[in-house]
Amino acid sequence: MGKNSTKYVIFKTRWGVFGLLADYKGILRTVLPMSSFEIAKRYLLVGMFQETKQDLNLCPAMQKDIRAYYNGSYVDFKKAQFGLNGEKLTDFSKKVLNVCIKIPFGQTITYSQLAKQAGFPNAARAVGSVLAKNQLPLLVPCHRVIRGDGKIGNFSAAGGSKTKKKMLEFEKEIIGYRG
């Protein structure tokens, strides 16, 4: 992929149509399953001012892993073979997202716990703000972060809290099937 090239792929999963946007440095954005190709494309390419081309062969291993996840398989996205492009993130955001990536499949932590693990024990609200802007849902599993009172909390991806709850329940089912 060339230095000035941005590409995307939108593909079907069992839950709907998923999108990936990437440049030569890594994945820039993901869109959780939507009901149609057109809707996924609109969300995926929002704010893109440079030419962006569709590439059905973009990140083939990642596409395979994402499909496997939505088919009910345990997938560890920490071991992805394609990098994540975080060059536009602040140092604080990078630290928060790097801790978030490490949350084990099927488990949850609170915003406060995430803040402490990132080295900012009094920044639970700021952590929530970073996660609300997460451009890489699923790959950076912000759905695994819940409120301190045990409630699901908000989710900025399509479907909001219902999607977050569905993903958490789905992962717990998968873990149950693994033994």
Averaged pLDDT, 51-58: 92
Annotated active-site residue 142? The verdict is: yes
CATH 3.30.160.70 fits 6-79, yes or no: yes
Spans of all domains in the chain: 6-79, 91-178
pLDDT, tens only, 57-110: 999 999 999 999 999 999 988 776 566 667 778 899 999 999 999 999 999 999
SS3 74: coil
Q: Which segments of 96-151 are extended strands (E)?
A: 109-110, 145-146
Tens-place pLDDT, residues 19-31 = 999 988 889 999 9
Which residue of the set 10, 75, 142, 145 is catalytic?
142
Pick left, alpha or beta for residue 2 (phi over 0 → left; psi -120 to 50 → alpha; otherwise beta). Answer: beta
Stated pTM of the model = 0.90
- Helices 91-101 and 124-132: crossing angle in degrees, nearest 10, is 80
Neighbours of 44 (CB within 10 A): 22
∠ CA 136-111-179 to the nearest 5 degrees? 75
Average pLDDT, the chain: 90
Q: What is the CATH number of domain 91-178?
A: 1.10.10.10
